[in-house]
Amino acid sequence: MNKTPHILVVDDNPEIRDLVSRFLIKDGYRVSTAGDGREMHKALADKRIDLILLDLMLPGEDGLSLCRTIRSTSNIPIIMVTAKGEEIDRVLGLEMGADDYIAKPFGTREVLARIKAVLRRVSGETSTQEASPRTKYSFAKWILDVDKRELLSADGIVTPLSTGEYDLLMAFVERPKRVLSRDQLLDLARGRSASVYDRSIDTQVSRLRRKMELDPKSPEIIKTVWGGGYIFTPEVSQS
């Protein structure tokens, strides 16, 4: 794991979000924030998150409930954050699937230490990675087998994909009909953010098109949005 971990800070207080983001970034992490459950789910759908810092008290669905929801579909590590005096919930939080627990007010050193510890602990596990709920996607004349990481044409013939090509295609397939910037794609497929003159996504898109498009010169599946990025146009169905 040489990629810098991407941490999602979920707290309804914007000042706390800002404060925490700032020192996490300073320590070299990539950070996204969310103010409630809805935003959290959006972030989880759009980005490859490595760890969630989840406040217990939230408007709408509360932290415990969110924690359980996340656990039902993935095993992203979660650190619960709670205001002092709510310590009773510690056991409950851990039972809900949180990986650690920290009480407000907290020092930056403490949070950093816990994050590091949890990440180290989790990376050691032969992370079977989140159990993908669906195992096959169909689109255009292709089938993407998530379990086998294989691309099949409709008649079942395998088209070999490299790791990077597969990851990029996966990012597209899971977010069809949406314009995705190069930066987003890089985050989703590679887990890193773009550097100044980064053209690697273009190259990889070009390679994918060569393998998948009937006529790579006028692509039907992955289209270019000039000045914006790329968009995966086909209807995707799961099976």
Partner DNA sequence: AAAAAAGTGTGTCTAATTGTGACAATCCAG
Partner DNA sequence: CTGGATTGTCACAATTAGACACACTTTTTT
Residue 233 interacts with, from a copy of itself, DNA, none (CB under 5-8 Å by kind):
a copy of itself
**Residue 6 φ/ψ, nearest 5 degrees:** -105, 120
203 binds DNA (CB under 7 A): yes
231 binds DNA (CB under 7 A): no
CA distances to 131, 140, 168, 200 from 218, rounded to whole Å, are: 36, 15, 20, 20
Q: Pick out residues in 207-226 that bind DNA (CB under 7 A).
A: 209-210, 216-217, 224-226
Count Cβ atoms below 10 Å from residue 30 Cβ, excluding itself: 20
- Residues 186, 37, 133, 114, Cα dihedral to 10°: 70
Please report, as a single letter, which amino acid is at residue 200. S
Member of 17, 48, 175, 190 binding DNA (CB under 7 A) = 190
Tell me if 29 sits within 8 A of 21, measured CB to CB.
no
155 binds a copy of itself (CB under 8 A): no
Structure tokens at 92: 């409950």
**Cβ proximity to a copy of itself, 17 vs 209, nearer residue:** 17
Cα–Cα nearest to 196, from 183, 179, 187, 180: 183
**Segment near a copy of itself (CB under 8 A); pick from 126-134, 136-144, 196-204, 209-217:** 126-134
> What is the dihedral sign for C-alpha 25, 205, 225, 141?
negative
Member of 22, 149, 178, 199 binding DNA (CB under 7 A) = 199
Tell me if 201 sits within 8 A of 182, measured CB to CB.
yes
Residue 32 interacts with, from DNA, a copy of itself, none (CB under 5-8 Å by kind):
a copy of itself
List interacting residues with DNA (CB under 7 A).
Answer: 2, 160, 162-165, 190, 195, 197-200, 202-206, 209-210, 216-217, 224-229
List interacting residues with a copy of itself (CB under 8 A).
Answer: 1, 12, 14, 17-18, 32-36, 39, 42-43, 46-47, 59-60, 91, 94-95, 99-100, 113-114, 117, 121, 124-127, 130, 147-149, 160, 162-164, 177-179, 181, 184, 218, 220, 223-228, 231, 233, 235
